[in-house]
Amino acid sequence: MAKSSVLGYPRIGENREWKKALEAFWAGKLEESELHNQLQQIRLNHLRKQKDKGIDFIPVNDFSYYDQVLDTAAMFGIIPQRFNYNGGAVPLSVYYGVARGTKDAAASEMTKWFNTNYHYIVPELYGAEPVLTENKPLTAYREAKEKLGIEGKPVILGPISFLKLSKGYGRSEIDTWLSILVKLYVQVLQELEAEGVQWVQIDEPVLVTKLSNDDLARVKSVYGKIAEAVPQLNILLQTYFESVEQFKDIVNLPVQGIGLDFVHGLEGNLSAIREFGFPQDKVLGAGVIDGRGIWKAPLGKKLGLVKELQNLVSADKLLIQTSCSLLHVPVTTKPETKLQPVLKNALAFADEKLDEVVLLTEALNNGEAAVAEALEANVADLEALEQSESRNRLDVQSAVARIQSQEPARTSPFATRNAAQQEKWQLPLFPTTTIGSFPQSTEVRKARQSWRKGEWNNEQYSGFIQDQIDQWIGYQEEIGIDVLVHGEFERTDMVEFFGEKLEGFAFTQNGWVQSYGSRCVKPPVIYGDVAFKEAMTVEETVYAQSKTKRPVKGMLTGPITIMNWSFVRDDIKREQIAYQLAYALRQEVEALENSGIGMIQVDEPAVREGLPLKEEEQKPYLDWAVKAFRMTTCTVQDTTQIHTHMCYCEFHDMIDSIEEMDADVISIETSRSHGELIHSFEENTYKHGIGLGVYDIHSPRVPNVEEMTVMIDRALKVLDPKLFWINPDCGLKTRGQEETIASLRNMVDATKIAREKFTVNV
């Protein structure tokens, strides 16, 4: 009999109870004991729900107080020295200090979890002396068994992936570190084995990336040692997000089960299993329900797939499971009472995906007749959306096809444009600016809520927003910022705001997912063809420009970021969605320029996270991502300065594509990994305007002038001073007013020092 399995469940709670508890604790409004109590109740509710729905293999230790990678580091005492950790179980103050920073110590780097919208805290191995501080998987297993009678499946990030995701070691140290880590993992697993644990899920997502021969040898060595150490423990070696590399070697590792992604890695994994077969002594974890998308699975097709897989493994060695953790999708569709039925009926969030896993398992074990009614309803729901008018906009499709056939390009090369822009704007050396958003206070959020509820009319709300703009234009001028922004007080979110004003989007009431830490986002749903309706940002930007003689940037979110930060339809290629978005945003860019706005920032912080994990797919993606950006921005005059903003990426492997975007100025979020990015510029030249974020906005601390001066000095060693801008590393929406003003004052002071140094040196 096939069994059902889940790789992980969202930790935030149906109403973001998890987020609220964390933030209350950080604000000093919740005692630590009460935080533990509240989080335990959330955790147990999640386990109980999976048990009640009939999941056979329920994950434990997938819950976290912040991030699962940070959890692994803390479990092994891998805490940066600047946090004064003295051994033993890591205190919450230290744990959260690593994640968020403290008054005296900068937070650890935060970066994207593979090609998802989730962020993890990067472990720092410099000088660490790891020991097992607490067996967290064992604690989680005992809790589930004692409280709920659940024979849980402990989940742990594997040693190969953990090391690959860490920083602070050289290539020559890889084997030494693996040796250290394997001993700790063995200790964890031996304690689980002694407890009577039946299955452990060890996540090794790096196995879907390209592995060198040396890396493959290390994988074999590591799992060989683990197999020797825990011969009675069943290990499910779990991969996800793509098909595995070196399929034959991986499936023959000395483990009892292999988990494969048959959604995002369908083509590669299915081809490999058809060609090479699958070991008859192993369990196959078949990830057939999409753990990242929100659409109902076409259950008839999925059933055909699992039937084929069942023919390749023995009947009792097949797990029907999600393709990855459900961390990446909202909790449940139940609260979504305002969505059109044709759309809601086609959605499946985490809870609905549990039902799909159970239904497929039942169909496989008991025959299709046992679930015939559900299968019929599934077909009807998906067909209704597919045939809807929203997915068949011929006007949009023909217009996009027309401009897609053209090669988008600015009229003049950058050098010509730069000279024209300098003449127009007369900016000083090292112009200062910000990324776009300013603090959204409780007052701002309440005003927006009052307007949305109808308690305020449009005139009242518009007046309030104008007051906020007046205030922050004044602050920026007083501080001495050169290029201003209106502050984005009217925007809930940099993607949601635009989605609400474009056709083809829908918005959930409670479709929250975790982005990083307690930061939750509610991604829009792109369910139909995207179309421009009317100007979206002109009113506020033009108003702000009327209040100052300094330039004010128009602020837009770019097509790739809107796409990557939304839940997108799965019936057409992502490339086509990007072009539809680009065409709509081009019309907004033109509206801003026609209204006298001569600097326009089209943010693309999420280009990197959409990069395919397979090397052979990366260049095609970057090519059409660049084309979409240029399609958005190519029609403006030479004197109109196009800015963009990107989050930190491994710059060396994208610099050509970033230059091809042909933005006049790019700002890059770098403060948590500034040294690595500077090193990239030592090896690569960049010929356009550029601003490297000189301080970390994700931390509540106010950086001093000296810190920023050091960053500026390092950057100027490798970048052209005539093209260098100075800015924070990201938007300031989540920060407080006092700290924002203090930090920007320090930034401007650091800029003045840099200008004086450069003038003297010249």
Which region holds residue 277: left if phi is over 0, alpha if psi is between -120 and 50, else beta? Answer: left
Identity of residue 741: I
Q: What angle do CA 438, 440, 445 make, to 5 degrees?
A: 155
Residue 36, marked binder = no
Q: Consult the annotation and say whether 520 binds a ligand.
A: yes
Find the catalytic residue in 46, 264, 643, 698. Answer: 698
Tell me if residue 526 falls in helix, strand or coil: strand
Contacts of 484 (CB under 8 A, 6+ apart): 433, 473, 476, 477, 544, 548, 550, 551, 552, 553
| Distance between CA atoms of residues 192 and 200, nearest Å | 8
Tell me if 647 is assigned to a ligand binding site. yes
Judge whether 488 is annotated as a binding position. Answer: yes
Active site residue 119: no
Residue 231 and residue 190: Cα distance in Å, rounded?
Answer: 9
Secondary structure (3-state) at 666: strand
SS3 533: coil
Structural tokens at position 386 = 């597919």
Residue 745 assigned as binding residue: no
The C-alpha atoms of residue 523 and residue 565 are separated, in whole angstroms, by: 6
Instruction: Write down the residue that tokens 């890695």 correspond to.
Output: 265
> In angstroms, what CA-CA distances link 460 with 448, 450, 451, 550?
11, 10, 8, 27
Residue with the two structure tokens 């002396």? 129
519 among annotated binding-site residues: yes
565 is in an annotated binding site: yes
CA distance linking residue 83 with residue 66, whole number of Å: 17
503 is known to lie in a ligand binding site: no
Which long-range contacts does 650-654 make (Cβ < 8 Å, 24+ apart)?
Answer: 650/608, 650/680, 651/677, 651/680, 651/681, 651/684, 652/680, 652/683, 652/684, 654/607, 654/608, 654/611, 654/622
User: How far is residue 377's CA from residue 379's CA, in Å, rounded to a whole number?
Assistant: 5
Contacts 24+ apart (CB under 8 A), 351-356: 351/49, 351/53, 352/296, 353/289, 353/290, 353/291, 353/297, 353/322, 353/326, 353/329, 354/6, 354/49, 354/50, 354/53, 354/55, 355/53, 356/289, 356/296, 356/297, 356/299, 356/302
DSSP notation for 570-629: SSS-HHHHHHHHHHHHHHHHHHHHHTT--EEEEE-TTTGGGS-SSHHHHHHHHHHHHHHH
The side-by-side arrangement of strands in the sheet containing 153-157 is 3-5, 318-322, 283-289, 257-261, 234-238, 199-203, 153-157, 59-60
SS3 content of the chain, % helix, strand, coil (to 5): 50, 15, 35
CA distance 315 to 302: 17
| Cβ proximity of 201 and 153 under 8 Å | yes
DSSP 164-209: HT-BS--GGGHHHHHHHHHHHHHHHHHHHHHHT--EEEEE-GGGGS
For residue 579, the one-letter residue type is Y
491 is in an annotated binding site: no
Residue 730 assigned to a binding site: yes
- Give the closest residue to 112 by CA, choosing from 483, 621, 648: 648
Query: How far is the C-alpha of 206 from the C-alpha of 69, rounded, in Å?
Result: 14
Residue that is written with structure tokens 């594997």 in the block: 158
Compute CA distances 336 → 45, 140, 331, 387, 739, whole Å.
21, 32, 11, 22, 37
Binding residue per annotation — 417?
Answer: no
356 is in an annotated binding site: no
Residue 18 is which amino acid?
A: W
Asked whether residue 634 is marked as a ligand-binding residue, the answer is no
d(CA 462, CA 448): 10
> Is 674 annotated among the ligand-binding residues?
no
Contact present, 15 and 510 (Cβ < 8 Å): yes
List the one residue out of 449, 520, 441 whose CA is nearest residue 17.
Answer: 520
Torsion sign (Cα): 539, 543, 545, 546: positive
- Going by the annotation, the residues of the binding site for Zn(2+) are 645, 647, 669, 730
- Going by the annotation, the residues of the binding site are 16-19, 112, 435-437, 488, 519-520, 565, 603, 609, 645, 647, 669, 730
- Going by the annotation, the residues of the binding site for 5-methyltetrahydropteroyltri-L-glutamate are 16-19, 112, 519-520, 565, 609
- Going by the annotation, the residues of the binding site for L-homocysteine are 435-437, 488, 603
- Going by the annotation, the residues of the binding site for L-methionine are 435-437, 488, 603
Residues forming the active site: 698
